[in-house]
Amino acid sequence: MTEPVGTRRGRGGVRTTEVVYRLYETVDELSTVIENARSVPMSGSCMVPRDHVLDLLDDLRESLPEDVQAAGSIVEQRTEILQAAQAEAELLARRTRAEADQLVARAQREAERLVEEGRRRREVLIADGQAEHDRLVTETEVYQRALAQADELGAQSQADAARVRAEVDEYVDTRLADFGGNLERMLRSVDAARSALRD
């Protein structure tokens, strides 16, 4: 006959054997109560004496080995540990979400600040460029006016020089004509004087 599980000899072996036999006896008695229970007509159920069955279950519970009871405590502790771990995980998840929300909000604010700063710098650059453009245009207009005035003055100077040259030429020509007339009169006088001398 196979020895029931938990009946091996060793330290505390006698106590373990008694507990196991008591468990088997209680289970056998429960089986007997259920087998001898009166059937409920038209169903697969049966009627058992509640108090008797509850007493047998209490005996069964009390007869459980200490290591089994310790295992139950471990299971309860495991459940508590899992619940605590779950609560810690949820807390950590909430903190992580809060930190992520803060980071997102901070990143949005930084992005808005950079956009605003970029807009201001763009406006400054546009204003500076427009001012430089206006200055260059003004300088170009001044330069063009100066060139026009210089060309006008040059043309006027050339016209004045031509006029003065013409006046000088006319004056010289007039003086030369007068000189030539005087010279001709002098020559006629000389010729007349020579003729008179010959006569």
pLDDT, tens digit (0-9, with 9 covering 90-100), for 41-71:
777 777 777 788 777 777 777 776 665 555 5
Closest CA to 21 of 60, 66, 72, 56: 60
Report, as an integer, the average pLDDT of 166-171. 86
Which of 13, 135, 112, 143 lies closest to 65 in space, CA to CA? 13
Give residue-wise pLDDT tens across range 84-102. 888 888 888 888 888 888 8
Structure-token pair, residue 177: 């004509």
Q: Higher model confidence: residue 43 or residue 3?
A: 43
pTM of the predicted model as reported, rounded to 2 decimal places: 0.31
Percent of the chain at pLDDT > 90 equals 0
Q: Which residues contact 45 (CB under 8 A, 6 or more apart)?
A: 39
CB 31 within 8 A of CB 45: no
9 has pLDDT over 60: no
**Statement: residue 10 has pLDDT above 50:** no
Using alpha carbons only, what angle is made at residue 8 by residues 6 and 10, rounded to the nearest 5 degrees? Answer: 120
Can you give the pLDDT at residue 176?
84
Any idea what DSSP says for residue 45?
Answer: -
- The H-assigned helical ranges of 4-65 are 13-35, 50-62
